[in-house]
Amino acid sequence: MHIREGAGPPPPRHWPPVIRRRPPGESLPLWQAVPGRTLSFILRSGLQAAETHWTGERTVPCVGEGCGLCALQNPRWKGYLGAWSLQEIPGPRGPLPKGRCLVEVTGVARLNCPRLGLPGDALAGRRLSIFRRDLRRNAQVACRIFDDEPPPLPDKRPVDPRQGLMRLWTIGDGKVSPATLTELFDLWQQIPIEE
Ligand SMILES: [Zn+2]
């Protein structure tokens, strides 16, 4: 490699800057639909949209312009809701407990359930179920919102999906800065949903 004199300092190794310290706030377990089981939640927020990539291990945010993962795959729409989990199950990274959590829904699930687009105060307190339409791991995700009286919970505080995603997506190599993610949250809410 030839380095031209006076070419200035090399570009930073990581961009956006790598955040090593977790932002303040609570860590919320992330629930996704599982095959062969219906999962139930009490909603605690409206829906936060996100453009994402699947790395083969986890879902990560698409940072838009300059996103390295966009060269490998198109970004996928995902929706995130703050909720209270009514069940506990084993998860790939330890048990997923009852209590405050994030719930992920797919674009298809969102399109088939228009009520998911209602504002947070219309959704909070409603019961949500999510499930896969057959037993395949990648089977289509569907959800339902119920109008029955939900069971009483010990904690009725809202659960902010942005705060939960901030904790998931802003620490370590290849992750985004809180400032960038805050901008992306607003942009993502504007984009049309694709299946
Ligand atoms: Zn991308």
Rounded to the nearest whole angstrom, what is the distance from the C-alpha of residue 84 to the centroid of ligand 1?
A: 30
Distance 64 CA to ligand 1 centre (A): 5
Of 102, 23, 16, 96, the C-alpha closest to 59 is 102
| Distance in Å, CA 51 to ligand 1 centroid | 8
Select the more confidently predicted residue: 128 or 174: 128
Please identify every residue whose CB atom is under 5 Å from ligand 1, which is an ion: 62, 67, 69-70, 75
The predicted model scores a pTM of 0.86
CA atoms of 148 and 145, how far apart (whole Å): 9
5-9, 20-24, 92-96, 107-111: which has the minimum mean pLDDT?
A: 5-9
Distance 154 CA to ligand 1 centre (A): 39
Q: Give the separation between CA 22 and CA 182, rounded to whole angstroms.
A: 15
Could you state, in order of their start, the residue ranges of all structural domains in the chain? 30-188
pLDDT tier, 29 (very low <50, low <70, confident <90, very high otherwise): very high
Contacts of 103 (CB under 8 A, 6+ apart): 30, 31, 39, 41, 80, 81, 83, 128, 130
Using the mean position of ligand 1's atoms as its centre, give its distance from the Cα of residue 117 in Å: 24
Q: Residue holding tokens 């800065």?
A: 177
Q: How far is the CA of 78 from the centre of ligand 1 (A)?
A: 13
Q: How many whole angstroms from 59 Cα to the centroid of ligand 1?
A: 11
Pair 58, 175: CB distance under 8 Å: no
Residue-wise pLDDT for 96-125, tens only, equals 999 999 999 999 999 999 999 999 999 999
pLDDT in tens, 145-155: 999 888 888 88
